[in-house]
Amino acid sequence: MNVDEIDLRILKEIYVKSSRDSIPPKPLIKAVGIDEQQLADKLEILEKGGYVKTKGDSANDHSLCNGIYLVMLTAEGRELLRKRKEI
């Protein structure tokens, strides 16, 4: 998977907010400077790449437009940040 600068910013923000636990994704919109749809799409791609795990439920008020309401950095995500010297 080709990881771009926005992907790295998303991963780093997740790490900063909680390196081991799940967090709600909506605060990432402002922190990374992208819109909700773009974040939703990026999180789906990052999950397919093994860098994050997500939980979704379209009925949750805290969900993104695609239903994701929690996101967590995986060991692979942390390792990528280390390799890129982001953490």
Domain-by-domain residue ranges, the chain?
A: 5-83
pLDDT in tens, 19-31: 889 999 999 999 9
Q: Are 13 and 51 in contact (CB under 8 A)?
A: no
Name the average pLDDT for the chain.
Answer: 94
Q: Kindly provide the residue ranges of all beta strands, DSSP E only, lying in the chain, ordered along the sequence.
A: 52-56, 68-73
Question: How many Cβ atoms sit within 10 Å of the Cβ of residue 6?
Answer: 14
With cut-offs at 50, 70 and 90, classify the pLDDT of residue 62.
confident
Q: What CATH code is assigned to 5-83? A: 1.10.10.10
